[in-house]
Chain A
Amino acid sequence: MLRRLLIILCLGLSSMMCLAVDLRVALDADPISLDPHEQLSEGGIQYSHAVFDPLVRWRQDGTFEPRLATSWEVQDERTLRLHLRQDVRFHSGNPLTAEDVLFTIERLKSSIDFKALFNVVQDVDKIDDYTVDIHTNHAYPLLLNILAYVFVVDKTFYEGRSEIVKFGQTFASTNVSGSGPFTVRDRVVGQRLTLVRNPDYWDTQSVGNVEQLELLPIRSDSTRLAALLTGGVDVISPVAPIDIVRVQRTPNVKLLALTGTRIVMLQMNQARRVEFQDIRVRRAMNLAVNQALIVEKILRGYGEPAGQLSSAAFLGHVSDLVPQSDLERARELMKEAGYQDGFRVTMMAPNNRYMSDERVALAASAMLAKINIQVDLKTFPKAQYFQFFDQQAADIMMLGWQSDTFDSNNIYEFVLACRDTDTGMGAYNAGRVCDRKLDDAIVLANQEMDVAQRVALLRGIEMRAVDQAWVIPLYWQPIIWASKQHVDLESVVNFLNFPYWGDLHVSVP
């Protein structure tokens, strides 16, 4: 609606209103490579949306929008037919056809980072130049979710030199041919990435009017904010919670905050501590931690206190499961379990991975002290922390999990499923929870095509996890952007934190 209105506005008024503009965006990280299939990370996908096009992409309301695939229909339980756009050309000038889609998915299946997502795809058949059939190993309800990661690359351009190497330069890491709204003009690694609008872009309906997009990595929170306040850049993200008031006080700058889907939690290792095997202790700990207070005081009211793992955007979300905190009840439970005098535990948390992670960990350990659980907290930079995480080096570990498929089941698979090094299930299960019945439900939910039944399955898992108090969910981390007033950031930023820069409209002041 808003988009249509803007188009009418542009057509109706003199062309002066819709002048092309240059935009400078400061982010906390930059893509490590120009190859869209090298790393599955937030920065990488943000870049891919600018220079490449996915088959489908997410709308802000959580539905899928056709992009390179104009429509799709289910052929049978294991086959999805996609119809491709016919007027798309890559930056190299080559036309986009079914061959490119086949090539891209094959490449994704061989990429270290993406293969876990694309293993489920058995093969892709070309029906004609603009139609493909995607066959999966089993019925797979999340096929569209992963097709949103298929950023189609130019087969003619990359073929024969398309290898993906993690530690070394490749052709694809420095040369690009995508079909996206921007082309790469210049990249100084670690300093800036300059993109310019693709004049032949197929999506002529887009209201985007950014002619040149400069992405600058600025790692320090305060320097990034200063860059916005001085007008050196037009858009920044993220904004540290402590700076939010500062942004709100500045008249020509605005703040855009969304609830993300990354769930920050504490995992209690039952293999290390017998105390944690007692459900009363786990419940008491859940009751002792006051999620609402953490969000209010440390995140300054941004972010959403969590009483479960699935955010409201996910199918597994159960709206009745709100975070509880009741110190009296918690103390009673500890007494019942025979631990009224408490015990000592160790805890580890990162100090530069999640928003305000160190302070959150400190607050949580202070809250646990109220039920006589003395926490020896150690925090580390993320590079060291995740080594300890893999070793499960402390009794309590902090983890913030972002579901790659934007579906509940991905959280359950990695955090709640029994640890299995062969399948990769439970790889982030630092609580050493293991419940075979739960595992069966998780496997089932990965194959259930009926939406209502699938929702029931996922909610069942969620309720069981909360009932057993296996982890202490804390909050869903907010996504915070700030920009100058005339940048219409609201229409391109979504709960996935993948802004579609191609569609960004900036009004000329």
Chain B
Amino acid sequence: MLSFIGRRLLQAMFVLLIISFVSFMIQDKMGDPVRQMVGQSVTLEQREALQQELGLNDPMLIQYGRFLGRAIQGDLGTSYYYKEPTIDVIASRLPATLELSFAALVLVILLAIPLGVFAAIHPKNLLSRAVLLFSTLGLSVPIFIVAVFLMYFFAIEWGILPSFGRGETTSVFGLWQSGLFNRDGLRHLLLPSLSLAFVLTPIFIRLIRAEMTDVLQSDYIRYAWAKGISAPRIYFIHALKNTMLPVITVGGIQLGTLVAYTILTESIFQWPGMGLLFMDAVTRVDVPLISTYLIFVGVIFVVTNTLVDVVYSLVNPRVRIPGYS
């Protein structure tokens, strides 16, 4: 176990090094941060003085070295716009994104498992065909279209749900601003999480259906039928458990994607999470914030992948991962 985690940690460091290096190399292609912070009549000289002050005129490798030196001490830089350490800025926006992803994930599980199982058990049923049609639709329609449609109908035309923001938040233990514990916050959460769920559910429905169809053909299920075990027990205990392996793999990857790339959904619904933060940082060329965000996303991917591996061996003890006993 320890050597497994150690090995992962090493891999993670390597991945993060590469990410930070790349994010540094693209910096000067993004534009001039000083220009974004000064008025039009500020002279070229004054702007150059500011650039000098920020150390933007040094060669890239020297800048990167300086960055690494500080990063080792836990300082990833100070955001130009927020004027606070970038880690703090991201941490303050993290709850919003995590709650949105969590809500979307709950919706996906609630929808995908029953529908996928149903479609596998009754392949010829009209509902199954409808579900498959819907899943094709969901796979092929991009999320911003779904989001805009949802907003158009639910918020603008029918006026039953709010169209932007996070609404009221309650403080949980003074650490976490949560929107999950009051009506207003939940109402705000519904549309963005629904649009995320809409594009994520289809892949899981299809996956579960395909795996389940496979499993239902296997010998041990036939034997279970012969033994006279009740249908729900066969479907949901014996069969479903074995369909879950690929679902967990794909789910882990998707979870990372979800947290990292809610950018579009957050921009459309003005959801004050990390994705929106990143979009704004790009427009403002807030370079320290952009680098920190990319590194942070890298961390999320490494962590979820590690977790997936651990869960994997819990669900199926036959699986062996090198270094993990």
Contact = CB atoms under 8 A, between A and B. Distances in A.
Interface of A: 32, 39-41, 112-114, 116-117, 166-169, 173, 189-191, 216, 218-220, 222-223, 226-227, 229-232, 352, 381-387, 390, 401-402, 404, 414, 421, 424, 427-428
A166 B38 contact: yes
Contacts of A404: 39-41
B163 A220 contact: no
Contacts of A219: 267, 270, 279-280, 283
Given A40-B39, A166-B37, A219-B270, 19 more contacts: A39-B37, A113-B39, A113-B42, A189-B83, A190-B81, A223-B267, A223-B270, A226-B152, A227-B164, A227-B270, A230-B159, A232-B163, A383-B31, A383-B36, A384-B31, A414-B40, A421-B45, A424-B43, A428-B40
Given A191-B272, A226-B164, A402-B40, A383 B35 contact: yes
A223 B43 CA distance: 36
Contacts of B138: none
B37 A167 contact: yes
Given A230-B156, A381-B283, A169 B38 contact: no
A387 B165 CA distance: 33
A218 to B, nearest CB: 5
B156 A229 contact: yes
Interface string B33-55: 11111111111111000100110
Given A167-B50, A190-B81, A230-B155, A113 B44 contact: no
A386 B35 contact: yes
Nearest to A190: B280
Given A230-B163, A383-B31, A352 B37 contact: no
Nearest to A44: B39
B164 A168 contact: no
B149 interface: no
Nearest to B41: A116
Contacts of B53: 167
A55 B226 CA distance: 92
Contacts of B43: 116, 421, 424, 427
Given A113-B42, A231-B159, A189 B82 contact: yes
A190 B41 CA distance: 25
A383 B270 contact: no
A226 B39 contact: no
A112 B38 contact: yes
A332 to B, nearest CB: 38
Contacts of A421: 43-45
Contacts of A402: 40
B117 interface: no
30 contacts: A39-B39, A112-B38, A116-B43, A167-B37, A169-B83, A169-B84, A190-B82, A190-B272, A219-B280, A222-B148, A223-B270, A226-B155, A226-B156, A226-B163, A229-B155, A230-B155, A230-B163, A232-B164, A383-B30, A383-B31, A383-B35, A383-B36, A383-B283, A383-B285, A386-B35, A404-B40, A414-B41, A424-B41, A427-B43, A428-B40
A227 B163 contact: yes
Interface string B54-68: 100000000000000
A216 B272 CA distance: 11
Given A220-B268, A226-B164, A424-B43, A39 B283 contact: no
Interface centre among A32, A117, A390, A428 (most CB of B within 10 A): A32
B254 interface: no
A357 to B, nearest CB: 14
A190 B42 contact: no
B281 to A, nearest CB: 10
A189 B159 CA distance: 29
Interface string B270-301: 10100001011001110000000000000000
B99 interface: no
Contacts of B95: none
A426 B272 CA distance: 41
Nearest to A405: B41
Interface in B73-106: 78, 80-84
A402 B41 CA distance: 11
B185 interface: no
Given A220-B268, A230-B159, A383-B283, A390 B44 contact: yes
Interface in B151-192: 151-152, 155-156, 159, 162-165
B38 A352 contact: no
Nearest to B50: A166
B124 interface: no
Nearest to B267: A220
A190 B39 contact: no
B35 A387 contact: yes
A386 B54 contact: no
B82 to A, nearest CB: 5
A387 B31 contact: yes
A252 B283 CA distance: 34
Contacts of B50: 112, 166-167
A89 to B, nearest CB: 29
A382 B32 CA distance: 10
Interface centre among A232, A404, A427 (most CB of B within 10 A): A232
B204 interface: no
A226 B151 contact: yes
Contacts of B164: 218, 223, 226-227, 232
A113 B151 CA distance: 40
A41 B36 CA distance: 11
B29 interface: yes
Contacts of A382: 31, 283
Which has the most chain A C-beta neighbours within 10 Å: B31, B78, B151, B277? B31
Nearest to B36: A383
Contacts of A385: 31
Interface in B132-160: 148, 151-152, 155-156, 159
B312 interface: no
B24 interface: no
B25 to A, nearest CB: 16
B198 interface: no
